[in-house]
Amino acid sequence: MSTDEATTDAKAAKSTEIKSNDDGCVDMSFTKEVRKATKDVHNLTDVLINAKFAFALSDDEVWYDGLLVFYELYKFFEANLPERLLPKELHRVAAFERDFAYFYGADWQKSYEPRPAVKTYLAALEKVAAKDEVLLFAYAFQMYMALMSGGQLLQKKRMIARKLWNFPKGSSEQKQKQAEAEAAAATEAAAALNADEDNDLVARPMPEQVTICQVGCEATYFPVGIPILKNKLRRIFNEVYGKLDDEKRAEYIEESRNLFRMNLELVRTVKGVNRANLRKLAIVVVFITGIYVAFKLAVK
């Protein structure tokens, strides 16, 4: 091999190198590149989802229907991506199915049929997988990262709601604590959404990991530390994306954008959202009204 060839090979290797420091952080250059290219459609999706699910995701029916909508996607990834792209410790299908058995009953699959929007999404994934597994990985990377970030935040909110079950149904203590929990969760979600991009990727701490696996809450429970799993997935991403030429990177980014568009279509099919939002909004209104009345009585 000539000196020039050796130099070229060394540069190529360096361009795909995954840099780590002592605290386990992974080089985020490629991640930032993809995030910047998908930021508009990603932010639009976040805004619409946050508006639609303002309070509803602490409602069991909405939560499990939401899991059911995305279940087929994770099932497809785990059946069609090799372990070098999707390590076994990230697999979630069995956990999803245990949650469904808890909520819908052991025979839930007998009456289960993927909804039309899910079938349309799966057909699109079939085409992507047939074209290039790396492009399918573009979808899986975003979906598993979302489960390890937003999924933790949502599960934390649900666990707060579960603590309220110790109060008699409809009691003033329950209403007050539920309103406080919803307000805290909304504030945390807003802070996460509005975080500076660099901080969001590196400095901003992720939501506290759910460390207790409650019955019916396995889908977002990871026994391995999430920072470890995220870094492992980012290293795979860096290795994959770093080897792509400009044309392939453009395809990868376009599929990443398609993911957010199609996810939004799935979210629109989740059942019970309006009912749950109205019920939770009524609780907040009652709480605020109670404070107002108490204040008026106090100043008389």
Whole-model pTM: value is 0.70
pLDDT digit string, tens, across residues 234-269: 999 999 999 999 999 999 999 999 999 999 889 888
In this structure, how many other beta carbons lie within 10 angstroms of the beta carbon of residue 288? Answer: 11
- Tell me, what's the pLDDT at 271? 81
Amino acid identity at 99? D
Which comes out higher in pLDDT, residue 53 or 31?
A: 31
pLDDT digit string, tens, across residues 268-286: 888 855 454 445 444 444 4
Q: Which two tokens stand for residue 31?
A: 């991640």
Q: Which two tokens stand for residue 225?
A: 């530390």
- Tell me, what's the pLDDT at 216? 80
- Tell me, what's the pLDDT at 218? 87
In terms of Cβ atoms closer than 10 Å to its own Cβ (0-12, 13-18, 19+), residue 32 is middle
Write down the architecture of domain 26-299 according to CATH. Answer: Up-down Bundle (1.20)
In terms of Cβ atoms closer than 10 Å to its own Cβ (0-12, 13-18, 19+), residue 188 is middle
pLDDT digit string, tens, across residues 96-141: 999 999 999 999 999 999 999 999 999 999 999 999 999 999 999 9
- The SS3 assignment for 26 reads strand
- Tell me, what's the pLDDT at 86? 97
What is the distance between the alpha carbons of residues 183 and 54, in angstroms, rounded to a whole number? 10
Q: Please check the confidence at residue 192 and state whether its pLDDT lies above 80.
A: no
What is the distance between the alpha carbons of residues 42 and 32, in angstroms, rounded to a whole number? 13
Q: Which two tokens stand for residue 144?
A: 């598993």
Over pLDDT 70: what percentage of the chain? 57
Q: Please check the confidence at residue 49 and state whether its pLDDT lies above 60.
A: yes
Over pLDDT 90: what percentage of the chain? 37
